[in-house]
Structure 1
Amino acid sequence: MDQRTTIDYRVLVDNLTTAVLLVDQHLNVFYMNTACEALFDISLSRAQGMPVLNLLETPDDIFNTQDALLKTLHSGQAYTRREAIVNVNFKDYHVDYTASQLNTGLAHHPLLLIELTPIDRLMKISKEESFLQQHQVARQLVRGVAHEIKNPLGGIRGATQLLARSLPDKTYQEYTDIIINEVDRLRNLADTMLGSRQLPSYELVNVHEPIERVHSLVVNQTKKKIKIQRDYDLSLPEVLADRDQLIQVILNISVNAVQAMTENSSYFEETGTQPTLKFRTRIRRAVTIHGTYHRSVVQIAIEDNGPGVPDDIIENVFYPMVTGRANGTGLGLSIAQNIMHQHNGMIECQSIPGNTIFSLYLPWESDHVTK
């Protein structure tokens, strides 16, 4: 005997991972499934009867969502919108969505079926992959230039030393000393551009150890001119890392923050705030790094309340030779990011005036492979 099970369509729809939204002929919310409730952080009981434009439109959206929905409602011609922005709790999210007419059997009461797919995670993965490729190309280019610079410097230095010895008038030694000093400075810069050739020496590390080391160095450097705060999660697991290289990364970012704040004292006078540097550690769930999904990672956040990273370099701040400081080389953050790549981790930067956060993400549940 053929036994068939009757299932309420809502049970099926509520178990979909795709967000499903039904809209009536007045463009008001008629129904949304569980995934849609999660996407917009609102329950069906609250959303029912609400204008759907409240969910799909943002103030600066130039796309006429209302006209597009009405056209689909009356003509039955579906449309798809890519990378639309929806605002949930004052935060923007990107979604792809398709709107189509749903035939209810009642000619005068059609419904609109809107299927939404969040794409922020996919966009982030794509952006990270593109950044990683471009960063590697830039690093190879800089290393090539550094090698080309170093090759003739030895000859210039040696020839200058021979010239200094052969000059009968010692008053010219001042000029040869200048040449030698500048050659040495260029050689040191080239060494920095090449980066360390030493492979990381991995061991289990409590991330608070290198942070505390950097904290002590920063305290001694600033002499209490900058307020330093610590907000640690002491339950964090140990990570497999090179302790000295972690210190180098954290110190580089911290020194950049200190210099940005000390060089812009007028900003704090205008805002009436005190320069503050904060170290924070947390566990972060469901993080994707370089296309690899991690259930949890360790986050080290280095936060300052300075004027922030200039808008024109914020997207390229980890590329070599990019800097917002007059006397900066633009190599420190690039080297720091490269070290994090070797640890299968990454650094992210978020910055607005008064709040700049550099976040270091370190996996602790996966093997580490030097790249």
Structure 2
Amino acid sequence: MDTNNLLNHLVTAVLVIDRQLRPCFANAAAEQLLGISHHKLLELPLPEQYHFMGVESQILIDAVIDSQSLTVNTTSLVTQDGQNHTIDITLIPLENQQQLSLLELRQVDQQRRIHQQLNMDAQQQAAQFLVRNLAHEIKNPLGGLRGAAQLLSRELSSPDLKEFTSLIIEQADRLRSLVDRLLGPQRPTEHAQHNIHQVLQKVITLVEFTLPRNITLTRDYDPSIPDNEMDPDQMQQAVLNIVQNAIQALEMLGGDIVIKTRTQHQVTIGSKRYRLVLAVSIIDNGPGIAPELMDTLFYPMVTGREEGSGLGLSIAHNIARLHGGRVDCNSAPGQTEFTITLPLQS
């Protein structure tokens, strides 16, 4: 049995470290947790590969030298890319391996995230069910109202009176369009192999025409990501909705938006675990999202802006769901990150 391959299927980050805390082995989950490539992980001591960990380096060094076990529960880890994690730490000396220890970093916030996602999906589906029934009740009388206005318009000879029937028809069409947008895509469409970076380039081309001068847009792509099955138009719409939200958050004071693509290993989406997924992140350094909005952020008609419709994120979430994926949000003043996670066919 290939031990390395077995360890790379673990969700827990596993490293083997020496007395200088330099890793001599790291599995795929460790690369994903720290956001650092396998080659770089083996080059430098572990403390140089994160910003902060809630256990002092000297405590780990002493435990390795003395061949002592160490367990620390629910402590903090801040990676070099600014991601905050809550982890359990376990250090175990390796038998017959002098001054080498096995270090496990287990994310406990992942279980919380999975639970939150399952709750959010259930609530989102309930909201969508309510919206569908409401849309049905609106569209039927709306169609009758529009038809009656058309018939009345044919009987009227006065242009002034016809102006009123035209207004009724125009507003009926506007309401129908709003209801259709509120519903968003409801069923999976036909998917084919497409490159995510070509989809992202179309989004960038669209927004660059109207991008304010005080906002910069940066690409941070992993060119090794393979083509994946998707509806490119739907995926373009999902990313565009999130990018436009980021632009609106920055338009007053300006700032930076980064569109980043990465692969991640052993990720759970809903109740299913995937060996490899694609993560598309849209990151801005704006004021952040109000905490009271975070739990209902992806609900239809929920918005923090007076002029907002509250449909963009709901539609993006639904498109990701129809692709077997999810949308996550982490926000604090100075950094907001939306991540679309999609399964990659292996």
Q: Quick check: TM above 0.5?
A: yes
The aligned counterpart of 1:7 is: none
The aligned counterpart of 2:225 is: 236
The aligned counterpart of 2:344 is: 364
For the Cα contact (< 8 Å) 1:239–1:362, is it kept in 2? Answer: no
**Structure 1 position 247, deviation (Å):** 0.7
- Is residue 202 of structure 2 the alignment partner of residue 213 of structure 1? yes
Q: Which amino acid aligns with 1:216?
A: T
**Distance in 2 between residues matched to 1:234 and 1:172, nearest whole Å:** 61
**Structure 1 position 92, deviation (Å):** 5.7
Correspondences of 1:159-308 after superposition (within 5 Å):
159-167=148-156, 169-196=158-185, 199-222=188-211, 224-262=213-251, 265=252, 268=253, 274-308=254-288
Give the 3 Å change call, closer, same or farther, for CA 39–365 of structure 1 in structure 2: farther
SS in 2 for 1:327: coil
Structure 1: runs of 5+ lacking an equivalent:
1-16, 18-37, 49-54, 57-83, 96-115, 269-273, 367-371
Give the 3 Å change call, closer, same or farther, for CA 89–150 of structure 1 in structure 2: closer
Deviation per residue, 1:110-168 (Å, 9 max, x gap): xxxxxx98643322222111111111111111111111110100111122223334345
The aligned counterpart of 1:123 is: 112
SS in 1 for 2:118: helix
Q: Which amino acid aligns with 1:299?
A: A
**Distance in 2 between residues matched to 1:89 and 1:46, nearest whole Å:** 22
For the Cα contact (< 8 Å) 1:278–1:303, is it kept in 2? Answer: yes
- Is residue 82 of structure 2 the alignment partner of residue 93 of structure 1? no
Give the 3 Å change call, closer, same or farther, for CA 194–355 of structure 1 in structure 2: same
Give the 3 Å change call, closer, same or farther, for CA 261–45 of structure 1 in structure 2: closer
Q: Which amino acid aligns with 1:157?
A: R
Structure 2: runs of 5+ lacking an equivalent:
1-11, 13-52, 65-70, 89-104
For the Cα contact (< 8 Å) 1:147–1:190, is it kept in 2? Answer: no
**Distance in 2 between residues matched to 1:291 and 1:198, nearest whole Å:** 20
**Distance in 1 between residues matched to 2:215 and 2:265, nearest whole Å:** 32
SS in 2 for 1:201: coil
Give the 3 Å change call, closer, same or farther, for CA 123–186 of structure 1 in structure 2: same
**Distance in 2 between residues matched to 1:166 and 1:294, nearest whole Å:** 63
**Structure 1 position 172, deviation (Å):** 3.0
Q: Provide the identity percentage.
A: 40
SS in 1 for 2:116: helix
SS in 2 for 1:87: strand
Q: Which has the higher contact order (CA 8 A, sep 6+)?
A: 2
SS in 1 for 2:226: coil
**Distance in 1 between residues matched to 2:335 and 2:106, nearest whole Å:** 31
Q: Which amino acid aligns with 2:237?
A: Q
Give the 3 Å change call, closer, same or farther, for CA 245–88 of structure 1 in structure 2: closer
Correspondences of 1:133-148 after superposition (within 5 Å):
133-148=122-137
**Structure 1 position 41, deviation (Å):** 7.7
**Structure 1 position 197, deviation (Å):** 5.1
Deviation per residue, 1:77-101 (Å, 9 max, x gap): xxxxxxx853345956277xxxxxx
The aligned counterpart of 1:68 is: none
**Distance in 2 between residues matched to 1:275 and 1:117, nearest whole Å:** 34
**Distance in 2 between residues matched to 1:197 and 1:132, nearest whole Å:** 14
Give the 3 Å change call, closer, same or farther, for CA 92–332 of structure 1 in structure 2: closer
**Structure 1 position 307, deviation (Å):** 2.0
**Distance in 2 between residues matched to 1:92 and 1:229, nearest whole Å:** 25
For the Cα contact (< 8 Å) 1:41–1:88, is it kept in 2? Answer: no
For the Cα contact (< 8 Å) 1:85–1:92, is it kept in 2? Answer: no
**Distance in 2 between residues matched to 1:153 and 1:318, nearest whole Å:** 27
Deviation per residue, 1:307-356 (Å, 9 max, x gap): 22222212211111211122222122112111111211111111122211
For the Cα contact (< 8 Å) 1:253–1:358, is it kept in 2? Answer: yes
Cα RMSD for the two superposed structures:
3.2
Is 296-305 or 148-157 further displaced after alignment?
Answer: 296-305
- Is residue 149 of structure 2 the alignment partner of residue 152 of structure 1? no
Q: Kindly name which structure, 1 or 2, has the bigger radius of gyration based on alpha carbons.
A: 1
**Distance in 2 between residues matched to 1:151 and 1:299, nearest whole Å:** 40
- Is residue 291 of structure 2 the alignment partner of residue 311 of structure 1? yes
**Structure 1 position 223, deviation (Å):** 5.8
**Structure 1 position 293, deviation (Å):** 1.8
The aligned counterpart of 2:121 is: 132
* Number of residues of Structure 1 aligned to a counterpart in Structure 2: 272
TM-score (normalised: structure 2): 0.70
Give the 3 Å change call, closer, same or farther, for CA 117–39 of structure 1 in structure 2: farther
